[in-house]
Amino acid sequence: MRRAPLVGLTALTVFALAAPGMSAPPKPVTQTVPFRDATPDPSGMAVGSDGHCSGLLPREKPHSFTAPARGTVKVTLGGFGGEWALHLLNAKGSVLAETDTQAPGYETLSVKVKKAGVVDVLPCNLAGTPDGTITLVFTYA
């Protein structure tokens, strides 16, 4: 009879120690930010080696996001009219992904990151209205 409480206490201890490993993954990180590019640059449509956001006019400053860990960064650019493109860049400025396929109305990209680090979101106005909205969702791996 004395073994039953001891076995129960042992099982409870094992469960309590294992519980942190069974916790739910962190919730996704979501950001929504306005982006303004008031100077359309249609020269970006003549795709160069750097893609659509490498037109002749100076680029706007990208929106920087720091991924907290390994995971997936999904970016949607919307809220504009006309023709925009979207690039995702690493901290060194190299293109991770680019798109100019969803016009009109939105552009979307998704990249997997292997570790924590900066991802720059660079929308560019090729021939559209001046304002857009960046929606970013980071999901932990």
Digit-coded pLDDT (tens) for 59-86: 899 999 999 999 999 999 999 999 999 9
Q: DSSP code of 58?
A: P
Instruction: Tell whether 6 is covered by a domain.
Output: no
Bigger pLDDT: 129 or 3?
129
Instruction: Tell whether 18 is covered by a domain.
Output: no
pLDDT over 70 percentage in the chain? 81
Instruction: Tell whether 102 is covered by a domain.
Output: yes
Total Cβ atoms within 10 A of residue 105: 12
Instruction: Tell whether 92 is covered by a domain.
Output: yes
Strands 117-128 and 82-90: antiparallel
In this structure, what is the dihedral angle of CA atoms 61, 58, 125, 87, given to the nearest 10 degrees? Answer: -60
Mention every residue, 6+ apart, whose C-beta is less than 8 A from residue 51: 44, 85, 87, 95, 98, 100
Rounded distance, CA 28 to CA 109, Å? 16
Total domain count, the chain: 1
Write out the two tokens for 20. Answer: 């942190």
- Domain carrying residue 46: 25-140
At CA 107, angle to CA 90 and CA 59, rounded to 5? 50
- Kindly indicate the confidence band of residue 138, based on its pLDDT and cuts at 50, 70 and 90: very high
User: What pLDDT does 104 receive?
Assistant: 74
Q: Is-above-0.75 flag for pTM?
A: yes
Residues 39-55 have pLDDT tens digits of: 999 888 776 556 788 88
- At 45 the three-state DSSP class reads helix
Instruction: Tell whether 1 is covered by a domain.
Output: no
Instruction: Tell whether 3 is covered by a domain.
Output: no
Total Cβ atoms within 10 A of residue 36: 11
> Residue 74 sits in a domain of what CATH number?
2.60.120.380
If you count them, how many residues does the chain have? 141
Instruction: Tell whether 12 is covered by a domain.
Output: no
User: What pLDDT does 101 receive?
Assistant: 82
User: What pLDDT does 14 receive?
Assistant: 46
Instruction: Tell whether 38 is covered by a domain.
Output: yes
- What type of residue is 48? G
